[in-house]
Amino acid sequence: MPALASHRKPRTRVRSTTPAVGLTTAALAGVTLLSTQSATAAPASPKPSIEDVQKKVDDLYRQAGTATQQYNQAKEASAAQRGKVDALLDEVAKRADKLNDARRELGNYAAAQYRTGSIAPSATFFLADDPQSYFDENQLMARMAGRQQKAVTDFRTQQAATSKKRAEAAKSLETLTESQATLRTSKENVQKKLGEARVMLSKLTAEEKARLAALERKKEAEAKRKAEELARQQAAAKAEADRKAEEAAQQAGSGGDTGTGAGTGTGSDSSATTKADKVLAFARAQIGKPYVWGATGPSSYDCSGLTQAAWKAAGVDIPRTTWDQVEIGTRIATADLQPGDLVFFYDDISHVGIYKGDGMMIHAPKPGANVREESIYYMPIYGSVRPA
């Protein structure tokens, strides 16, 4: 018995230590799991640098500019389509009136025929008072039959024309619906991009905003330096051109030329200068007015709205969007820019300004900014045109 008792005692100890082992294992497993999770957890995303913020915000504003041009394009298309739909609906109404007139005339003939009935030609001949009366009446009936046939033909023609116009109107209405949907989407895209830019800027501390402003000043200074360099190059080129023109005039004078061609300008050059002066006068008068996407004046503008209004003030109608404006007039190299020329920016041609001379332009920059003068080198140049 003692041996049996001795055997039971260790078994009891084993049972009493089992929970302790289980708890220890569980605790170790928990520590291991926490350690593993801590080790594998993704580190917090580093805060973007001010340079990254500047680049991102500039890109968002550029994307908003692109969306604004899409909005302008869709709005213009929608307005044009609405005019086309209204014209087609008016035409359908007119065609319907003509169709009803033809239907009434055809109905009158049918009613007359029903009342009078029809008699065979042989019976008409025998019932006539004399042969001449028969032939007179037969000729009259032939003319009446001809008018009836014409009434039928007119009815069918008007019916076909009305159906065609109704189909055109229905198709035009579908196109209008698509244009309006594009307009809504473009508007939403503009608002989305501007909202993202505002959120990014709102998260900056006062110190970060100061650093961002310093970066902007540095960017503006570099752009101004490039503008001044362009101004020097253009001034030198003009001086050289004037010198050559003066030499040519002197040579012509020494050659005994008695003609009246001493002037170096032309009527077209004078006209272009006058237009450019009007364009710049209008643009200068808008300085200080706010940028509002989709606006065409008079209290606010987007970039292409300003250029369109400025050239309209000079008597020249140009398209609404940057994408259409860049296709008009004559392409001009940057070195050959003259006041009034349009300068376009970015690869997607989402911005435009009016060249004022000396490497500077007047433009409506972006939301939150006013119409102002700025170096054309503030943004990457795509190309330039002279509208007229």
Q: How far from 72 is each of 40, 80, 114, 135, 184, CA to CA, in Å?
A: 49, 12, 62, 73, 11
The secondary structure of 51-112 as a DSSP string is HHHHHHHHHHHHHHHHHHHHHHHHHHHHHHHHHHHHHHHHHHHHHHHHHHHHHHHHHHHHHH
Task: Tell me, yes or no, if 303 is annotated catalytic.
Answer: yes
C-alpha to C-alpha distance for 88 and 342, rounded to whole angstroms: 37
| Catalytic choice (278, 351, 356, 386) | 351
C-alpha to C-alpha distance for 261 and 377, rounded to whole angstroms: 40
Name the token pair of 349.
Answer: 């041609």
Tokens 């050059």 belong to 269
310 and 338 in contact (C-beta within 8 Å)? no
The secondary structure of 295-310 as a DSSP string is -BSSS-B-HHHHHHHH
| Catalytic choice (75, 278, 320, 363) | 363
Q: How far from 281 is each of 120, 194, 276, 296, 362, CA to CA, in Å?
A: 87, 31, 8, 17, 11
Contacts (Cβ under 8 Å, ≥6 apart) of 360: 227, 373, 374, 375, 376
| Catalytic choice (169, 303, 310, 342) | 303
Print burial letters for 208-242: b (CB count within 10 Å at least 16), e (below 16). eeebbeeeeeebeeebbeebeebeeebeeeeeeee
Long-range contacts (CB closer than 8 Å, 24 or more residues apart) made by 117-120: none
Alpha helix ranges (H) inside the chain: 2-40, 50-116, 121-127, 131-202, 206-254, 267-285, 303-313, 322-325
Cis peptide before 46 (omega within 30 of 0): no
**Residues that are catalytic:** 303, 351, 363
